[in-house]
Amino acid sequence: MNDLQADAPSEYKVQKGDTLWAISGKFLKEPWKWPQIWQMNRDQIKNPHLIYPGDIIRLDRSGAYPSLSLIAGGAIPADAVVRLEPRTRVQPLSTAVPTIPGSAIGPFLTQPLIVDPGVMDTLPRIVATEEERVIVGAGNSAYVMGLRSGDAINWQIFRPGETLTDPDTGEVLGFEAIHVGDARVKRFGSPSTIEVTRARQEINQNDRLMPAREATFPSYVPRAPDKPIKGRILSVRGSVSDIAQYSIVAINRGSRDGVEVGHVLATMRSGDLLYGTKSARPPLGVDLFPNLADMKIAVTPNPPVPDTIVAGQDPETVPTAGTFRSYQLPDERSGLLIVFRTFEKISYGMILKSVRPISVGDVVQTP
């Protein structure tokens, strides 16, 4: 099987701090093919058997296809001869190995992230602050309209962020929510009184509230989607220009498009468009652009050239009218991301691998 790493171990003992993605990479060149070698069905993929530190993962190469099996807690095989004697049985108080680093995605699992169009104006909002403070911080009080007796006690405070629009269709997909702090209700009324328990940024009038979410780390198996999915990177958290490993990105595909938590998508870097002076097709081995002055790199998707050679097309089949001829270089894979949270129209993923620069607007697709 070509998918196996050349130095894949016969067995591996799970260590504290491991992630399922990192363990997969010890056995496979493409970690998202983990379900295939583990021989999982769809139910097992969505509800996987948990893996804990101390478990042993064994690779079996004896069959037609290699497969993985799990020995829980390093248990002794059934056919082994064991000398029985009194001993203390220890049950480790450890949590299951996460799919990806929990510390990196934890805040994004508890924050609202996306608010659908039309919902923003229906949410409770801060109408006044204690002693008319311009900025409210931890320990200060504020007054909120829209809370009712019986509502939750703990809330998240956020303000509207960037409007996310589909770059291909122009559809408004939602509004990003910037988490600025947390609060708890001191008194319900009209308005209600809240106390700010944590402030990540300054908190002001007109900031909105949403019920606090509990931090839960889902157990899922990294896998490729069952069908072709193609979209684009809409934004990167932190407003940085360069997207690297462990960056959090939003893509313009969600649950309505078949995206699920655990899906692995490839990021693609668009090939440059090159063009130079047109001439007859040169003999084999002759440089098309002997002078660098004759070559230009077009960053616009529609340069002022009349004829284009797409990657893989025979140049002689292209019409010869015009002065310039352009050459579209093929797209190249730049990295991999795994989806960890989905909304109807948008999903959030973490960049797990980056081999080339990744930017907002790059394509993501089924690997």
pLDDT digits (tens, 9 = 90+) for 238-264: 656 678 888 889 999 999 999 998 899
- Predicted pLDDT of residue 328: 75
Single residue among 24, 52, 74 that ends a domain in this structure: 74
Report H helices in the chain: 20-27, 34-38, 42-46, 102-110
Which residues, 6 or more positions from 130, have their beta carbon under 8 angstroms from its beta carbon? Answer: 136, 140, 141, 142
Domain count, the chain: 3
The count of other CB atoms within 10 Å of the CB of residue 292 is 8
Please report whether residue 255 resides in a domain. no
Instruction: Report strand pairing: 154-165 vs 56-60.
Output: unpaired
Q: Select from 262, 272, 361 the least CA-distant residue to 44.
A: 262
Span 264-277, average pLDDT: 79
Please report whether residue 231 resides in a domain. no
Q: Judge if 196 and 128 occupy the same domain.
A: yes
Instruction: Name the residue with higher pLDDT: 169 or 48.
Output: 169
Span 262-287, average pLDDT: 68
Measure the CA–CA gap between 116 and 163, rounded to whole angstroms.
10
Cα separation of the two ends of the chain: 18
Tens digits of per-residue pLDDT, 52-89?
888 898 888 887 788 888 887 755 444 544 454 554 44
Tens digits of per-residue pLDDT, 150-159?
899 999 999 8
Please report whether residue 44 resides in a domain. yes
Please report whether residue 81 resides in a domain. no
Q: Select from 209, 213, 206 the least CA-distant residue to 195.
A: 209
Domain containing 317: what range?
A: 273-330
| 3 state SS for 2-51 | CCECCCCCCEEECCCCCCHHHHHHHHECCHHHHHHHHCCCHHHHHCCCCC
Report DSSP letters for 56-109, one per residue.
Answer: EEEEE-SSSS-EEEEEGGGPPPTTS--------------PPPPSS-HHHHHHHH
Check whether 280 has a pLDDT greater than 50.
no
- Predicted pLDDT of residue 135: 76
Q: Judge if 135 and 205 occupy the same domain.
A: yes
Q: Judge if 130 and 207 occupy the same domain.
A: yes
Q: What is the mean pLDDT of the chain?
A: 78
Q: How confident is the model at residue 330 (pLDDT cuts 50, 70, 90)?
A: confident
Token output for 190: 């009209």
Which residues, 6 or more positions from 327, have their beta carbon under 8 angstroms from its beta carbon? Answer: 273, 274, 275, 308, 309
Position 323, amino acid: T
Check whether 143 has a pLDDT greater than 90.
yes
Please report whether residue 96 resides in a domain. no
Please report whether residue 354 resides in a domain. no
Contact by Cβ (8 Å): 15, 23: no
Please report whether residue 24 resides in a domain. yes
Measure the CA–CA gap between 356 and 315, rounded to whole angstroms.
29
Please report whether residue 29 resides in a domain. yes
